[in-house]
Amino acid sequence: MRTTALLLLLSLGTFAQSKTAAKRPNIVFIFSDDHAYQAISAYGNKLVQTPNIDRIAQGGVLFRNALVTNSICGPSRATLITGKYSHMNGYKANEGKFDVTQMLFPRVLQQHDYQTAWIGKWHLGSLPEGFDYWRILPGQGFYYNPNFIEKGKDTARVGGYVTDLITDFSVDWIKNRDSSKPFFLVVAHKATHREWQPDTQDLGAYDHINFPLPSNFYDDYKDRIAAKNQDMTIDKTMRMVEDLKVHVDWQRKTGLFSRMTPAQQAPFQAYYEGVTKDFDEKKPTGKALAEWKFQRYMKDYLATARSLDRNIGRLLDYIDASGLAENTVVIYASDQGFYMGEHGWFDKRFIYDESMRTAFMMRYPGVIKPGTQSDALMANIDWAPTMLDIAGVKAPADIQGRSFLPLVKTGSKNPAWRDAVYYHYYEYPEPHHVYPHFGLRSKQYTLVHFYGETDSWELYDLKKDPTQQHNVYKDAKYQQVIGGLKKQLKGLIEEYKDEEAMKVFNSSRS
Ligand code: SGN
Ligand code: CA
């Protein structure tokens, strides 16, 4: 009799446990590459619409101050999966092999019975760990007919357009997963990375738009040594053939074009021959050339983003139609911000606004009220601990970020939060000659120290100078502010244990 009761109790226990397990939310993390918040309608862009990305924001929260701690690809990915700064996870630049033997939060999820998968661009040198399934692009990957490396299988070339393929693989994985467990899936797109090759159906989608030049397109970089030293202007750095597809040798089909099938190449070639004709007729030089390049850049970049948005719509439709939506958190984020002609630039890297600030939105039915917006200084070190929080798992002590869930939950009472984000960038000189630098960003200020071949400081008052063109570091009026911010910066360097930065900070003579 007693045994039966015990058995009953035990089985009830198991039932209760599996019920809680079943209730733990799934997490779909859609991660794009170089997709600027300026290019997203949820962030106020009125020239092009991104209705599907906007759906995620409308269904939950949009972060207006989501910041990255080192604005390039590999380091951002390493921070996503460790919740740590580059100097702690060891991946400071896009080079070498990321150490996958360290604590990775997806592995912690696995230990708590989550199924985990990474599909798409990985870009960390080593092969993934902490994922039950993965299918990744080697390195940067290709837009057309890319190769994929699949867990346990050989590398294979797959026919099609990369954004469609990554979405197809993701939907298939969700369909075929073990549905007795909750899951965490990263859908890691290649779009909208350079060299912006649109899907053939999107060619010319924005040709009717004359994009306005950013107010600081012709920035003179006065009083800014690092901005002067960079090699990332649309005018000088952007390449006519590879980036802008003008005068491509279609016979020889070099580089990226070499992978296209004749059926893919035909509309592509016809379209860019039209672009080349326009160029040859106008023969732009000087400012006219810089502006011609800017228009072409915007059109190709945004056409590439069009497929990204459409495919995100397809994934969301599947999540909704399959009944998963109610118990699935959907996140959209870009690995960093990107310049859309501000300061005359493309690319990223700098602590300045357009590269440090990234798109981030999250839909969490029943927990976050649709249409919520947050101005909190949230950073990519917070992404891992937030996802662990969603899964009900305690974050390992060495994670450096914090869950932002308490800030945005329905009925949250404005809990205490950080008032500045620490930043440290390393990769120099190639590919874009941006000096290494560290600094902080608060709601009002950006203070930054450039080091290595230079020893210089900059301060921006973001309230008075939102386009960050006036370095007021030497301005007498700001000396007191600088004293306070330097103390705060030193405190952050200590808190995050950045020994290299501390040495540089202490030896700076300027
Ligand atoms: C490539 C690009 C660079 C870009 C880096 C890093 N050149 O080298 O413009 O900054 O990737 O980008 S390209 O001609 O090969 O496109 S990241 O997003 O992976 O960090
Ligand atoms: Ca990137």
Other beta carbons within 10 angstroms of residue 398's beta carbon come to: 12
Task: Identify the residue whose tokens are 């040495």.
Answer: 503
Q: In the prediction, which pLDDT does 16 show?
A: 42
**Cα 100 from Cα 116, distance rounded (Å):** 15
User: H-type helices in 230-261, by residue range?
Assistant: none
Ligand 2 centroid from CA 73, angstroms: 4
Q: How many A from CA of 265 to the centre of ligand 1?
A: 24
pLDDT beneath 70, residues of the chain:
1-22
pLDDT in tens, 469-509: 999 999 999 999 999 999 999 999 999 999 999 999 999 99
Specify the pLDDT at position 17.
44
In a domain, 236, yes or no: no
Residue 9: predicted pLDDT: 47
The closest residue, in CA terms, to atom 20 on ligand 1 is 73
Pocket probe mutation, ligand 1, options 32, 94, 239, 335, max atoms within 8 Å of Cβ? 94
- Kindly report the protein residue whose alpha carbon is nearest to atom 18 of ligand 1: 73
What pLDDT, on the 0 to 100 scale, is given for residue 254? 75
Q: Give bridge partners of residue 26 from the DSSP assignment.
A: 328
User: Containing domain of residue 482, as a range?
Assistant: 422-507
Bond before 192 cis per omega within 30 degrees: yes
Residue 225 lies in a domain: no
Ordered alpha helix ranges (H), 32-153: 51-58, 73-82, 86-89, 105-111
Domain boundary among 418, 446, 471: 418
Residue 73 beta carbon below 6 angstroms from any ligand 1 atom: yes
Count: domains in the chain: 2
Is 490 in the same domain as 364? Answer: no
The verdict on 437 and 390 lying in the same domain is no
Q: What pLDDT does 408 receive?
A: 97
Same domain, yes or no: 52 and 146: yes
Segment 387-438, tens digit of pLDDT: 999 999 999 999 999 999 999 999 988 899 999 999 999 999 999 999 999 9
Query: What confidence tens digit (pLDDT) does each residue in 6-24 have?
Result: 444 444 444 444 444 448 9
In a domain, 227, yes or no: no
**Would 246 be classed as within a structural domain?**
no
Ligand nearest to the CA of 137: 1
Residue nearest to atom 12 of ligand 1 (CA): 73
Within a domain: 14:
no
Q: Pick the last residue of a domain from 418, 439, 467.
A: 418
Do residue 108 and residue 190 come from a single domain?
A: yes
pLDDT at 448: 98
Q: Is residue 110 part of a domain?
A: yes
**Rounded distance between C-alpha atoms, residue 89 and residue 71, angstroms:** 15
Same domain, 344 and 379: yes
Encoded amino acid at 227, one letter: A
In three-state secondary structure terms, 492 is helix
CA–chain centroid gap for 153, Å, is 28
Closest-lying ligand 1 atom to the alpha carbon of residue 335? 18
Q: Name the CA radius of gyration of the chain, rounded.
A: 24
Q: Are residues 75 and 107 in the same domain?
A: yes
Q: What is the pLDDT of residue 255?
A: 77
Q: Do 29 and 85 share a domain, yes or no?
A: yes
pLDDT of amino acid 7 = 47
Tell me: do 448 and 333 sit in the same domain.
Answer: no
284 prior amide bond cis, ω within 30: no
Residues, CB within 5 angstroms of ligand 2 (ion): 33-34, 73, 335
Decide: 23 and 392 in contact? Cβ < 8 Å.
no
Which token pair is 174?
A: 């969700």
Q: Is the CB of 348 under 6 A from ligand 1?
A: no
Residue 138 lies in a domain: yes
Phi, psi of 447 (to 5 degrees): -115, 130
Does residue 193's CB lie within 6 angstroms of at least one atom of ligand 1? Answer: yes
- CA-closest residue to ligand 1 atom 17: 73
**220 within domain boundaries:** no
355 vs 343: CA distance, rounded Å: 12
134 and 75 part of one domain = yes
Q: List the CATH number of the domain containing 495.
A: 3.30.1120.10
Closest C-alpha residue for ligand 1 atom 10: 347
Q: What is the pLDDT of residue 256?
A: 74
